[in-house]
């Protein structure tokens, strides 16, 4: 299957060099699922309440590995990958990978732990160009930047399960990747992961 070959290539390209930076502690792995709906503005617009949802949906499998953890700060670097399917106005597959910075140091974390995960630069590839990503000239790109912002809430005393809300964003990085004049796609998603 083409998607599995693409997925393996992305994982091998990122895990091999980053795993050399891993700390002496055993790294954490996780797998999970998330589902979301397309909204018509970039992440900043969504956070400010300026989005409108449209009939395009995403269901994705995600996996991540902790490749580095600070010994003095509540910071970790993870490698996150996703394999998803979109449907609604268009049906297409998506695969993406990005290094993620996890911050686990919010005040009041003990009674209600919350982690923030940020991935500003990654790679996303879709099986076809979505009509939602075409510019005025009708053109677009299958390969774009992958940006992800996530708030995660571990559940249970051992934090083996985690619920999360994710802004899943594909973009041209302000026309650095192409200049078709399209924003890319944005999804607000809710998900669950198992850490081991």
Whether 67 and 22 have beta carbons less than 8 Å apart is answered as yes
Indicate if the pLDDT at residue 169 is higher than 80. yes
**Mean pLDDT computed over every residue of the chain:** 83
Confidence check: pLDDT of 166 > 80: yes
- Torsion angle in degrees (nearest 10) through CA of 80, 84, 88, 91: 130
Domains and CATH numbers, the chain: 2-195 (2.40.160.20)
Burial of 73 (0-12, 13-18, 19+ CB in 10 A): exposed
pTM: 0.80
Query: Lowest mean pLDDT: which of 28-42, 63-77, 88-102, 176-190?
Result: 176-190
87-143 pLDDT per residue, tens = 999 999 999 999 999 998 766 556 667 899 999 999 999 999 999 888 888 888 899
- How far apart are the C-alpha atoms of 92 and 186, rounded to whole Å? 15
């Amino acid at each position: 299957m083409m998607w599995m070959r693409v997925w393996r290539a992305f994982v091998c390209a990122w895990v091999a060099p980053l795993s050399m930076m891993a700390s002496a502690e055993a790294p954490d792995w996780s797998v999970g699922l998330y589902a979301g709906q397309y909204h018509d503005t970039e992440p900043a617009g969504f956070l400010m309440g300026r989005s409108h949802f449209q009939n395009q949906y995403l269901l994705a499998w995600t996996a991540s590995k902790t490749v580095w953890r600070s010994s003095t700060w509540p910071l970790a670097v993870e490698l996150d990958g996703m394999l998803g399917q979109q449907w609604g106005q268009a049906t297409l597959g998506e695969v993406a990978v990005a290094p993620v910075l996890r911050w686990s140091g919010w005040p009041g974390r003990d009674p209600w732990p919350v982690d923030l995960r940020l991935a500003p630069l990654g790679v996303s590839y879709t099986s076809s160009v979505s009509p939602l990503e075409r510019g005025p000239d009708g053109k677009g790109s299958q390969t774009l930047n992958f940006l992800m912002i996530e708030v995660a809430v571990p559940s249970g005393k051992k934090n083996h399960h985690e619920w999360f809300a994710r802004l899943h964003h594909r973009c041209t990085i302000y026309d650095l990747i192409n200049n078709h004049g399209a924003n890319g796609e944005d999804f607000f998603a809710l998900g669950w992961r198992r850490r081991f």
